[in-house]
Amino acid sequence: MRITKILLNGVGESLIFSYPENTVPGDENFKIGFSLNRMAKDEKIHFGSDRVSSYHVLLEGRTEVLNSKLGKRAFETGQTFSCEEEEQVELMGEGRVFNMFMSGGVRGFIRKMPLEKEKKMRAGEAMGGCVMAFFGFDGEFSLMCSDEKLVCEAGSAVIIQADKQEFFNLNIIPEKAGMSVACVTGVMLNSHDFGKYIGVHLLERSEGTCRARLDICPNHMNPIGTVHGGCLFTLADAVCGIAASSLGGICTTVNSNIQFLNAAFYPKYLVAEAKPKKIGRKIRTFLVEIRDDRDILICTVDMVFYSLQQ
C-alpha cells in the first residue's frame, strides 16, 4: 500500500496522479488518472474519448455541462457528473474541477460524504488493485490508515494505492461537524464484464443512481421475436450494480424480482434506470425501470444488494 499527500490549491491545469505512473489519457497502457482544471469566466473545456470515461466534481464555482447525449445542466460546488465512453462533454463557467479518467476496465466513482463525527471504513478490493483519494470541501480532516496518520488541510488531498486483496481500515476524523469530504475510488477490474460483452453502455451515473442503454441486435432476441428475458435481467443487474457500488464498497446481489409488463417487440434500444428505494448500512434496495425506444415500460426489477464492506 502506498499513501501520498498532494496539494490542490495553487495548481492549474495539471495531471496530479496516474496509474501506471507517467501515463496520460489516450496512452495504450493508461488505467486511471486524476487531474485539475481551472476555468476563467465563461471559459470552455472539453472531455470525451472513444476509449476513456471520466468522472468529475466541481471544487468551486458554478458551471454548465453540455453532454452530447443528455443535453445541458447547471452544476454547483460539490456536485458530480460523468462522461462515458463515446460521449462528448463541454464544460463552461468559472471555477475549478477535479477529474478522474479511466480506461482498461476501471470502475470509478466520486461521492460526497457529509461527516458529523468520525467515520470508520474498511477499504480494499478483492478483484483488483484500487486507488482512493480524499479531500475536504470546507475544512480539514485527519485520516488514519493502519498505523499512519495524516492531516489533510483544506486544499490538499490524500491518495491511497492498494494492491489486489490488500484490505485496510480507515478512520476519517472531521475538523468540525457537518463538513463534507470527497471520496474518489477507482478499481482496476479484469476484462470479465458480461454486461459490456452484450453491449450495455452507460449513459449517466451519480451517487446511488445509474442509467444505461442497450442497442438491440438479433442476438438479444428470443424465438418469438421479443427481447429475451435474460437479456432484460442482465441489463437491470448491470445498471443496478453500478448504482449500488457508487455508494462505496464491494456489493453483491442477494435478491431480485422482475416483473415483465410489456413485450419488447424488436425495439431499437432499451434504457434502464436504477434508483435507490432504501439505503442501509449493509443492505441497499433499488428499483430498476427498463423502457424501449418509444418510452414504453417493458419491465421493472426490484433488487437487493449487500455491501461486503463499509
Q: What is the DSSP letter of 223?
A: T
What pLDDT does residue 164 have?
A: 83
Same structural domain, 198 and 237: yes
Write the CA distances from 158 to 2, 63, 153, integer angstroms.
10, 26, 10
Same structural domain, 184 and 199: no
CA pair distance 131, 254, nearest whole angstrom: 27
The residue count for the chain: 310
CATH of the domain at 291: 3.10.129.10
Q: Tens digit of pLDDT per residue, the chain (310 long)? A: 888 888 887 665 678 888 888 887 777 678 899 999 888 888 888 888 878 888 899 988 889 988 877 788 888 888 888 888 878 889 999 988 999 998 877 888 888 888 888 888 878 777 778 899 999 888 889 999 877 888 998 888 999 998 888 888 889 999 888 888 999 988 887 666 777 788 888 888 878 899 999 999 999 999 999 999 999 999 999 999 889 888 876 788 999 999 999 999 999 999 999 999 999 888 999 999 999 999 999 999 999 999 876 5
Same structural domain, 219 and 285: yes
What pLDDT does residue 290 have?
A: 97
Same structural domain, 216 and 175: no
Same structural domain, 111 and 12: yes
**Which runs of E-coded beta strand occur in 48-115?**
53-67, 71-76, 80-83, 89-102, 106-115
Last residue of a domain, one of 131, 161, 190: 190
Contact residues for 279 (Cβ-Cβ < 8 A; gap 6+): 208, 247, 285
Same structural domain, 132 and 263: no
What pLDDT does residue 134 have?
A: 93
Same structural domain, 87 and 181: yes
**Neighbour tally for 62: CB within 10 Å:** 13
Contact residues for 164 (Cβ-Cβ < 8 A; gap 6+): 125, 126, 127, 128, 129, 188
First to last CA, the chain: 19
What's the total number of domains in the chain? 2
Write the CA distances from 166 to 127, 130, 171, 206, integer angstroms.
10, 9, 17, 26
State the cell numbers at 204: 449517466
Same structural domain, 152 and 268: no
Domain that holds residue 211: 194-307
CATH of the domain at 16: 2.60.120.10
Last residue of a domain, one of 147, 162, 190: 190
- Give the 3-state secondary structure of residue 245: helix
Same structural domain, 16 and 146: yes
What pLDDT does residue 190 have?
A: 65
- Give the 3-state secondary structure of residue 235: helix
CB 113 within 8 A of CB 165: no
Same structural domain, 162 and 22: yes
What are φ and ψ of residue 93, in 5° steps?
155, -145
CA pair distance 1, 103, nearest whole angstrom: 22
CA pair distance 137, 58, nearest whole angstrom: 10
Contact residues for 160 (Cβ-Cβ < 8 A; gap 6+): 1, 2, 3, 123, 131, 132, 133, 134, 145, 168
Same structural domain, 148 and 20: yes
pTM of this structure: 0.78
Same structural domain, 67 and 149: yes
Last residue of a domain, one of 190, 208, 237: 190
